[in-house]
Structure 1
Amino acid sequence: MMVALFTIIVAFTTFHTYEAQAMDVWGIFKQAQKLDQQGKYAEAIAKYNQIAPEFLKKKEYGNAAGMYRRIGDDYAKLKKYDDAVTNWDKEAEYTGKANMTQMSIAAKRKADQLRSSARLFVETTASALGSTNTHGAIFEPKNGAYIGAYAELDPAVHNSKTAKPFYTDGFPALTGKGHAAYLIYFTYGKPLSSIKSHIDHAREAGVALQLGIQPLKGLGEVQDDAYLRQLARDIAASGVNVFLRFANEMNGDWVPWHETNPKNYIEKFRIVAKVFHEEAPDNVAMVWAPDRSPEYSINDYYPGDDAVDWVGVSLYTIFNPTLDPLKQGEDRSSHLEKFDYIYKQYASRKPVYISEGGVAYMYPEKKQDKTDWAVYKMKEFYASLPMLYPKVKAVFWFDSNHDASARIKYYMLSANQKLLEGYKQSVANPFYLSGLGDESPVAYKPINAASPVPASTQKISAYVKTWSPTISKVTYTIGGKTVATVTSLPWTAQIDFAPYKGKKIDVVVKAFDSKNALVTTQKVAVAVK
């Protein structure tokens, strides 16, 4: 009996080994392609899933990646985007193994644009966090972020001929809230007296300046000489606190001080930092501020912790549908998450901030109005930044519709009432500070399985990312019961956790689009103490 059973097992194993070896993978692939052409995507997926493992067995990673790409594409056509993301992740993995680096990067980017996730936060007092989010740098608040702007090109808030209004008065009047600092540009080689009116108005208004010093003739003119020493002494004597942003966006080839050899840039930054640290130690913070892109070279230009007081970044978003993985003419990117790289690289050691930036309300290539999209992205940014990036310490809005290039960019608040109202609502959050020395009374802590929430009624907010460019509603469900429904960012609700004391629960977060269609369902495991 046992001999017969062994014979059956051997025969069965041999049959399936032969079957696998004999599988006509390319024949099945052609069948899948035909099903695709007929719009039978679920059936095509089954065929691709049948042959993808065969390619993996043979370590034909490029072919396997091609199957997972097609599976992902078909799931996207079926609007099963979470499944699409799973398979595009596999495409990225196996193109990487096949040394097809650029294809791997593209697949990962495609997956990330449609990836859904949810993170929960509980509002707490800043005093409860103490110095958790501070570095002890000059001008740095323990908690909260200064708000600032570049506003001298907005005619509604600034008249350069009469100084009535001047942006230090006009911009707070426009936005309904005082701003802690203003960005102005300054050409290296000129005396400080060339911007005397800016210095005088900043002193009178009690605001700081972010001085964007630009060596327009290149870095060769930057020396530890009488000019630089005198500039530093004049700023020290000005009575104005200054964020000195020297030669920003140095990683971009569009600025005249860009150096293909980062060592040359680092040498010049360190010269400027040394002079200002010696001559103006009490009222100047040295700012190193690359552009967010290209990311790959940013770290090469870092001058060192001893030379840098604050790290800034230029952060702009302009509607761009060309990278839409669904080919539906949408921009699914996150303005907020473009800050992620700089934050992760430097926030543990320096105060980080958006030294200039904004979300444009026009698609310039097509002259299409994208106000609603821009307002959502703006609100999402300001609402979620305190939760995701609590060590951010300032945000400057670029209030202008001007640009040196032919491609005008549209960020001016006074030119778009919806954008202005969105900005007013965004900066009303007490996390955003109106003056140097101010501190935020509120802070946010993540809640999850490792970071418990107290067993009482708590003010909960969420960061919800989905494939949909915008969300109109979020619901929270615990144990099959909907406990809150909210319709505005950052999806803040009062939730009573007392019934779940000592338990681990799933908070189910559902997001809906503007047509009230369900976009995603995410479970967040939460411990209740």
Structure 2
Amino acid sequence: MTSSNNQYQGPDQFPHKSKSKRLRRASALIPVLLMAVATIGVAWTMNRVVPASSATAESEFCVADDASLIVPEKGVLFGVNLDWDNESIAQYKTNLGHAPAMAVQFTDIPYDRETWQHTLDAVDQVKQNGGALLLTLEPHAGLSAVSTEVIAQLAEDLRELNDDGVPVVLRYAHEMNGSWYAWGQQPAEYIASFRRVADAVHAKAPGSSMMWAPNYGGGYPFVGGKFAAASESDNFKLLDTNNDGALTMADDSYAPYYPGDDVVDWAGVSLYHWGNQRPWGSNDQLVENHKFADMLTGEYSGTAGDDIQVPDFYHVYGDLHNKPIAIPETAAIYTPSRGGTDELDIKQAWWRQVFADSFASTFPKVKMINWFEWQKYEIEIDDTVDWRAAGSPHVRDAFVADLPTWLHYAQDVRACKAG
């Protein structure tokens, strides 16, 4: 993205427009489902010992027809965005020592039966591992293509998954505050579409919940994207929250897109370490102290400047709106082709902030954190980035050793007993 004054944070920019297409080509290795697990604290069969500090979470919880029960009273769901072309949940479970409580699938909407079949084909595999599905729906044909008929089919499909014991968190049209997606920077149309989807899902698929998930606001309004709000348009006027006639970081990057407390079950924001300053992709930029928490609370300035801050996402949507907060994607950039700081040093500096011992108690509204476990080409730096925390044995072992006791994994999610 091109912006002379603002900082862009996160790989969910232009290169991720093709993410769902790559994922859809993976036939049966994509979503995550809930399986009734009779025993908590399962001992994993593997060739290495899982550190005791990361083997169990603080508390158990169960999932029933009411999708809100997937939110643990204490602790945080640990999830993963897997490269399904190259790794299954079963492989990840063996590699990391835990099956994730949440896993992420991307698909277009509208979708045809062949596309939806990719989700259905994955059921038998993922049922063996437990957990739940974070389904990200991307209306690349535009919000107008998500018709009443399309929404009704979605609700019926989700109901079938729920009836089969699969809880779903639906992340609909994410990063709507960005300028790179066909549904971006159209607040009125987006809110109306989200509400229509939510109404149908809540009515027909009670085992599914709705996640509202804007892009992190650093770099807003993301000048240069194909779908940026046109000056003087109705959308532009709605986004000009301080009414100064300009769209800048001084405007609220989240609030104009919020669909309402009655239809939002989760509030999510993806937070990545892309580096501290341009050009991105250097391995010489270690994470600044408190960066992860500062991004979540709007206190991080970085190259965005010291005079303008991003809204406090945690306080506004966790405290004031009383929503469980999710980090649907997070990771730290490491570019293998470039020299500099060691991969472990870069990634560990980030995950030790994300998974700090005190994080869950400091931010008790955070209920889900999903690691972006991909090695992929990123157009921003014209190079391949390894975002993975478990891509090599020595990095994986350090990651597992640092995981805190407050995380929930698939084995911690069980079916509620009748009565």
Q: TM-score range by the shorter chain?
A: 0.5 to 0.7
Partner of 1:175: 96
- Out of 392, 397, 421, which is 2:366 matched to? 392
Partner of 1:412: 388
Secondary structure in 1 matching 2:122: helix
Does 1:254 find its partner at 2:180?
yes
* Shift in Å, 1:247: 0.6
Per-residue CA deviation, residues 274-296 of structure 1 (Å, 9 max, x unaligned), is 11011101x10111111112463
Q: Kindly tell me: are residues 361 and 202 of structure 1, through their superposed partners in 2, closer, same or farther at Cα, counting changes over 3 Å?
A: same
Partner of 1:18: none
Q: TM-score, normalised by structure 2?
A: 0.63
Partner of 2:156: 233
Per-residue CA deviation, residues 32-82 of structure 1 (Å, 9 max, x unaligned), is xxxxxxxxxxxxxxxxxxxxxxxxxxxxxxxxxxxxxxxxxxxxxxxxxxx
> Is there any run of 5+ residues in structure 2 with no aligned partner, and where?
8-56, 60-66, 221-251, 298-311, 415-419
> Is there any run of 5+ residues in structure 1 with no aligned partner, and where?
1-101, 107-124, 128-135, 159-166, 440-529
Counterparts in 2 of 1:128-139, with a 5 A limit? 137-139=68-70
Does 1:362 find its partner at 2:329?
no
Aligned residues: 293
Partner of 1:343: 314
Give the letter for the 2:375 counterpart: N
* Shift in Å, 1:437: 6.4
* Shift in Å, 1:330: 5.8
* Shift in Å, 1:421: 2.3
Give the letter for the 1:263 counterpart: A
Give the letter for the 2:348 counterpart: V
Q: Indicate the RMSD between aligned Cα atoms, in angstroms.
A: 3.1
Higher helix share: 1
Q: Retained in 2: the 8 A contact 1:148–1:179?
A: yes
2:151 and 2:105 map into 1 onto residues whose CA distance is: 18
2:193 and 2:148 map into 1 onto residues whose CA distance is: 9
Give the letter for the 2:359 counterpart: L
Partner of 2:406: 431
Q: Kindly tell me: are residues 254 and 417 of structure 1, through their superposed partners in 2, closer, same or farther at Cα, counting changes over 3 Å?
A: farther
Give the letter for the 2:154 counterpart: L
Per-residue CA deviation, residues 279-331 of structure 1 (Å, 9 max, x unaligned), is 101x10111111112463211111000111111111111223449xxxx9665
Give the letter for the 2:371 counterpart: W
Runs of 4+, deviation exceeding 4 Å = 328-331, 436-439
Give the letter for the 1:430 counterpart: T
Secondary structure in 1 matching 2:120: helix
Partner of 2:79: 148
Secondary structure in 1 matching 2:170: strand
Partner of 1:111: none
Secondary structure in 1 matching 2:385: coil
Give the letter for the 1:361 counterpart: Y
- Out of 99, 116, 119, which is 1:195 matched to? 119
Per-residue CA deviation, residues 343-362 of structure 1 (Å, 9 max, x unaligned), is 11111210001111111233
1:359 and 1:302 map into 2 onto residues whose CA distance is: 28
* Shift in Å, 1:139: 1.4
The answer to which structure, 1 or 2, has the higher relative contact order (CA under 8 A, 6+ apart) is: 2
Counterparts in 2 of 1:71-110, with a 5 A limit? none
Does 1:186 find its partner at 2:107?
yes
Aligned-residue sequence identity (percent) comes to 26
Partner of 1:309: 265
Q: TM-score, normalised by structure 1?
A: 0.51
* Shift in Å, 1:338: 1.4
- Out of 256, 259, 279, which is 2:204 matched to? 279
Query: Between Structure 1 and Structure 2, whose CA radius of gyration is higher?
Result: 1
Higher strand share: 1
Secondary structure in 1 matching 2:136: strand
Does 1:376 find its partner at 2:349?
yes
Secondary structure in 2 matching 1:430: coil
